Amino acid sequence: MKIFSKSKYLLLQVFVISIFIVCCITGTEVRAKNILFLTLPTILAGHGQSGGGTGGGTTPPGNGDYEVIAWNDLGMHCIDESFEDFGLLPPFNTLVAQVIKRGKNPKIVTSGVSVTYRILDNTRSDTKTNFWDYAGQLFGVSLKSNIGLAGFGLQGTMRAEPDSFIAEGIPLTPHSDSSPNVLSPYQIAEIKVFDLQGRELASTRTVAPVSTEIRCDNCHGDGGMANPGIATGVVKQNILTLHDQEEGTSLMANRPILCANCHASAALNKPGKSGLPSLSKAMHGKHKKIDDGTMAGTCYRCHPGTQTKCLRGIMFQKGQSCQNCHGNLKDLANSGRRPWIDEPRCGQCHDSAHSEPANTLYRFSRGHHGVFCQACHGSQHAIYPTVNPEDNAQSIRLQGHSGTIDTCRVCHTNDPNPGEGPHGGGNGG
C-alpha cells in the first residue's frame, strides 16, 4: 500500500512538472505559473498520497482541526476591456468560502475566526483597465482606485455571512502583474483562516475566473458584417452609431453609456426603462440570426470564448454544450424568460436527490448539513473535474484526487455510516 501511495505521489509530481514544461514551451508561462501556485503546496506537503475514490478513505495529509473550501460564484465573470464608450459588465468577481471545524460531527464556523483573501500576482487593476475613470458616470458612485462596486479590493477580509464568508465584487482583471499584456482568465485566489489571536488555522487556493474575451469585433469592426457602412475606428463606437441609426437614439453624443440603464439587468440590479426589453432579451434576440447551433459559432462569438473556454467542466467533457442547458438564442430571447432567475437546474437531467432545493439557483443551494453544492461540486460551467488543472487543484489538495470533493474525511474525523452521504439518507440533514 505504501508503494502504491508513493507511486501516486510521484505521478502527481511528474504530471505537474509536465504541464509546467508544456505551458512554457507553448508560450503560456502565466498559466504555468498559476498551476505551480496551486499545486506546489500540495506537492511539498505530500498531499496526493491519500487514496482516491468516494466515501471514507484515509485522512488527507495535512488536514488539521479546521478546513476551508472556497469557490467563485459563477464559474466565469465577463468584464469590458474598456469603459469610455459603453459598459456592459464592470469588474465584479465574487469569492465564497466555508470554514469547517473537523470532527465526528463537523460544524460550519462563522464566528471566532476571520477569513482573508488575496489574488496572487494581481495586486492592482487601475493600471489594467480604465473602469475607475468612468465609474462615476456609469454607476453614479465615487470609488477609490482598486476598490470595487461592493467595497472590496484585490485583497482584504471576507465578510461573514450566516453560514459562509464572501468577498463580493472584487475588481479583478484577467491581467497578472507579471504579464499585464497577456490574457490570463484563470487568476488564483488565496484564502486563509485565522483565529482571534491571529494564528492561521487553514488555507486554500481557488480559481478566480475573469475574462474580457467579449468579441464584438467579430461582427462590429469597421465595415463589419453587422455595420457595413460604419467605420469609426472604434468597435464600441461602431455599435453605438448603429444603435443610433436603427433606434433613433443619441448614444454617441452621451458617452459613456451603461446599457443596463435602459435595458434591465438583474446582474447589475438595474430595472431598465419601461417598455424596453431586458439586456439579455435584446442581445440574444438581436443576434439570433447568427445562431449556427454550435458553441464556437454562436456562444463563443460573444461569451468567453475560444481562448478562455468558459464551459470546461465534466459535463462539457461528456459532450454537453451550452445549448443543452440554455437552449438556442431564440430560447434565450423568449419574452417569458427571466434572465439570471430562470436558469438551468441540475434536476433537468438528474434525479431529485441530485437537484437543487425548490426555487433556489444552484449557486445559492445548500445540501449536506448546510454545505454549499458549489463547495464540493464546483461552480457552474466548471463542475469538477474540469479540463483546467487550475480548477482541479483544490480537490487534489483536500483529498488527493481531482473531481467532486467526495472523501468524507476531508471534514469528518471518522468514517460515517453508509447512506449518510450528501445524496444519501443524510442529505441536507
- What is the structure's pLDDT at 358? 85
DSSP letter string over 254-307?
G-SEEGGGTS-BGGGTB---TTSPPHHHHHHHHTGGG--SSTTTTGGGTSS-TT
In contact, 401 and 52? CB cutoff 8 Å? yes
The percent helix, strand, coil of the chain (3-state, each to 5) is 30, 15, 50
Omega cis (within 30) before 256: yes
When pLDDT is cut at 50, 70 and 90, the band that residue 353 belongs to is: confident
When pLDDT is cut at 50, 70 and 90, the band that residue 61 belongs to is: very low
- What is the structure's pLDDT at 420? 72
In contact, 47 and 400? CB cutoff 8 Å? yes
Q: Which of 211, 99, 95, 210 is nearest to 152 (CA)?
A: 95
Q: End-to-end CA distance of the chain, in Å?
A: 35
- What is the structure's pLDDT at 415? 85
What are the tens digits of pLDDT across the range 316-341? 999 999 999 999 999 999 878 899 98
What does residue 119 show for φ and ψ, rounded to 5 degrees? -95, 120
Q: How far is CA 29 from CA 122, 176, 209, in A?
A: 15, 11, 17
* pLDDT greater at residue 417 or residue 43: 417
In contact, 205 and 394? CB cutoff 8 Å? yes
In contact, 411 and 102? CB cutoff 8 Å? yes
Q: Which of 159, 171, 168 is nearest to 135 (CA)?
A: 171
For 19-23, 70-74, 229-233, which range has the lowest pLDDT when averaged over its residues?
Answer: 19-23
For 6-10, 133-137, 358-362, which range has the lowest pLDDT when averaged over its residues?
Answer: 6-10
Rounded mean pLDDT of 268-278?
97
Q: Which domains does the chain have, with CATH numbers?
A: 2-214+377-410 (2.60.40.2550)
* Whether residue 357 has pLDDT greater than 90: no
- What is the structure's pLDDT at 309? 93
What are the tens digits of pLDDT across the range 12-42? 556 656 665 656 555 566 666 666 655 555 4
The amino acid at 181: N
* Whether residue 355 has pLDDT greater than 50: yes
What are the tens digits of pLDDT across the range 78-103? 999 999 999 999 999 999 999 999 99
When pLDDT is cut at 50, 70 and 90, the band that residue 204 belongs to is: very high
DSSP 207: E
In contact, 108 and 83? CB cutoff 8 Å? no
* Whether residue 47 has pLDDT greater than 60: no
Rounded mean pLDDT of 244-254?
98
Rounded mean pLDDT of 112-140?
98
Q: Please tell me the distance from the alpha carbon of residue 58 to that of residue 53, in angstroms, as a whole number.
A: 11
- What is the structure's pLDDT at 265? 96
How confident is the prediction for the chain on average, in pLDDT? 88
When pLDDT is cut at 50, 70 and 90, the band that residue 429 belongs to is: very low
- What is the structure's pLDDT at 268? 96
Q: Which of 95, 122, 155, 146 is nearest to 37 (CA)?
A: 122
* Whether residue 378 has pLDDT greater than 60: yes
